[in-house]
Structure 1
Amino acid sequence: METNMLHRGRLIDHLQLVVRDLAASKRFYSAVLGALGIPLGGEGADYFWADELFVSSENSRAAAGALTGRMHFAFQATSREAVERFHVAGLENGGRDNGAPGVRPYHPGYYAAFLLDPDGNNVEAVFHGPASRSAESIVVKF
């Protein structure tokens, strides 16, 4: 029997990607999530998951027979160095560069890198600066 932790108060409960090549996606996500200190949580013949990310093949019962469209999502990183490790690990494991690690203009301290996964999803790792290490919220004015 598996025990899973339930996290309340998050905007997104979970995200499912349905991919063309499960092995290529597993290689990519294992590497980039590992660079961020997040292990795979489990796997089966036609899926794998980590935290709230669930990835399955098109023929998986969970997929309903259709690939997901191109998406953009971001993983939180604990440091600028973690963002850089994410970027290197992704490039070495089937990802394509979509924005090298660097400061972005979204708010002060926003440091991110972007990769395209094997299915063309725009996957980001972001460090929001020192405040992201605590439970404090960052107030951003647009």
Structure 2
Amino acid sequence: MEFHRGRLFDHVHLRVKDLDASKRFYRAVLEVVGVPVFAENAHFFTADELFISPADPGAPEGRGVHLAFQADDRETVHRFHAAALAAGGTDNGGPGERSYHPGYYAAFVMDPDGNNIEVVNHGPARKSAASVVITPA
């Protein structure tokens, strides 16, 4: 039996009410599971693409998740955007290049609960693996 994990999510961004409390909580939790924190300032992020920053002022309670999925190509980014809008999502940034790094091509939609959902293609790249394969002993 094999389990394939990873690479569904490109990154997750949590917007939190109390950044200091969240830093304490996530530092402790991530240390236990062996995930290093790489940067800590006005926000912090980990090796596994978890970003945590303060919630926007006036943001509704519980609506601060930014979830990004990976796409194999730019056409998938366009299909995601069209399908999400047709299914009740609200445009939050149509398909296009972003300045995060060369080749970053993404679209953003707010889901029915106000969470920011993204699909991103990073441009031509070589992955070290399609997924992490876990084989129980």
TM-score, normalized by length of structure 2?
0.50
Structure with the greater relative contact order (CA < 8 A, sep ≥ 6): 1 or 2? 2
Name whichever structure is richer in strand by fraction.
2
Greater Cα radius of gyration, structure 1 or 2? 2
